[in-house]
Amino acid sequence: MLARRLVDAGQPTPAWAAQGLEAQLFATTRPGLIAPDIQPLFLSWVYPLVAQLLHPYSRGEMRLRSADPTDAPRYDPRVFSDPRDLETLVDNLELLREIAAQEALYEWIDVEAIPGPGLRSREQLRDHARATVVSGHHQIGTARMGLDAASVVDAQLRALIAAQPELAADVLADTITAFDGLHPDDTDALVRTALAWFEFRGSTAAVGKRLHLHRNTVLHRLERIEKLTGAAFAVPAGAALLYVTLQAWLLRTPGEHTI
C-alpha cells in the first residue's frame, strides 16, 4: 500500500542528478517488530515522498464472477479492512514530514503541496491516506512457499514432490533414473557435489573447498551429471530440473546426506 506526499521544489533537480528513485528507507514504526514494516520512497520528479506499507494485515479476496471461464474474476482488495494498516501508513506520513523538515533539505523544498500544511491531525492524515492509497507490488509467483497447510512447496521444493510422488516419478523419470546404474558411493559423490554447487551459487572453488576436492574434480563431476541427465547447470531450466531431481532423489533415498 502506498500513499502520496508531494512537496513543491525550492529548486529543480539537475538533469544529471535525477535518478527517478533517489533513495529509500526501510524502517519500523514501533518497537518489537522483527522486520521493517514501512519503506518510504524518495523520488526525483517534483519531489514526491511516498509512504509505503510493506506487510499489510488486511486481506482481500478473489471470487469467480460466473461459470464462464472467460469472465474476469471479482477482486476486492479490502484495503484498510484491518485498522492497523491505516495507522501504520499515517505513521509513515508523519515520518516523511519529519524527514522533509531537516535542515539539509531546506533549499530543495518550498512548500508541502500534498496533503498540505493545513492537514495536521492524525484523523486528517487518515482521510488523506484513504483518498490516495494505491497498491504497489512485484509479482513473484503463485505457488506459496512455507510450512503451513496452505503452502504448496517448502523451502527446498519438497512438499510438492512428497505430496504427489506419482507426478514426480513421471516428470522426473528420465533424470532421476539416470543415477540408478551407478554404484551407490558414486551416486552419493555426484549428488553431494551438485547440492554443494547449488548451495554456493555455482562457485566451483567454494564447492571444492567444502568437499576438499580439486576444482577440476568438481567440474568433472558436474559434467558427468550433465551427461547422465541431459540437463545443463548453466541453463536456468536445466538447473531447475536438476535441483528438483536432487530433492526427489533425497526423498527416495532416506538417510544422512550432508555436504
Q: Hey, which residues does 92 pair with through a beta bridge?
A: none
In Å, how far from its chain's centre is CA 23? 20
Measured distance CA(218)–CA(198) in Å, rounded: 13
Measured distance CA(126)–CA(106) in Å, rounded: 26
Annotated catalytic residue, options 138, 212, 214, 220: 138
Our answer to whether residue 257 is catalytic in this structure is no
Measured distance CA(144)–CA(207) in Å, rounded: 30
If phi > 0 it is left, if psi is from -120 to 50 it is alpha, else beta; for residue 135 that is beta
Quote the strand ranges of 109-239, DSSP E.
109-114
Least Cα distance to 198 among 248, 157, 249, 239 occurs for 239
Catalytic residues: 138
